[in-house]
Amino acid sequence: MVGPVEGGWEERRWKPLRGGEPHRREANHLSTCILERAPDNDCAREFIEHRFRFPLSNYRSRSTTAAGVHIAINLLSAAFGLAIASIAASGGDSPGWKAAIVAIGLAVGVLSVTNQIIQPGRRNLAFARTWLELRAQGWQYVWALGDYGPRSTDSKAERKIWDLFVTRVINAQQEAEKIAEPGGNQASGVQPPDTTRPSDASNDIGKNTGLGGPEPPERPPS
Q: Is residue 17 part of a domain?
A: yes
CB atoms near residue 48 (< 10 Å): 24
User: Given a cut of 80, is residue 177 above it in pLDDT?
Assistant: yes
- Residue 60 belongs to a domain: yes
Backbone angles phi, psi at 201, to 5 degrees: -65, -40
Q: What is the mean pLDDT of residues 129-155?
A: 94
Q: What pLDDT, on the 0 to 100 scale, is given for residue 218?
A: 55
pLDDT at 72 over 80: yes
Residue 54 in contact with residue 31, Cβ under 8 Å?
A: no
pLDDT of 15 over the 70 cut: no
Nearest to 173 by CA among 212, 122, 127: 127
- Whether residue 107 lies inside any domain: the answer is no
Residue 9 — very low, low, confident or very high, per pLDDT cuts 50/70/90?
Answer: very low
* 132 found inside a domain: yes
Mean pLDDT, the chain, rounded, equals 78
CA distance 159 to 145: 16
Q: Flag whether pLDDT at 126 surpasses 80.
A: yes
Assess if residue 87 is contained within a domain.
no
In a domain, 158, yes or no: yes
**106 vs 7 pLDDT, higher one:** 106
Supply the pLDDT for residue 219.
55
Count of domains forming the chain: 1
**pLDDT beyond 60 at 172:** yes
Tell whether the model's pLDDT for residue 208 goes beyond 80: no
Residue 157 lies in a domain: yes
In a domain, 14, yes or no: yes
| Predicted pLDDT of residue 221 | 58
Which pTM was predicted?
Answer: 0.68
Tens of pLDDT, residue by residue over 36-58, are 999 989 999 999 999 999 999 99
CA distance 71 to 121: 9
Range of the domain at 46: 9-65+124-209
Average pLDDT over residues 104-124: 92
The more confidently predicted of residues 123 and 181 is: 123
Residue 199's pLDDT is 39
Query: Contact, 63 vs 124, CB < 8 A?
Result: yes
The better pLDDT of the pair 152, 124 is held by 124
- In one letter, which amino acid is 46? E
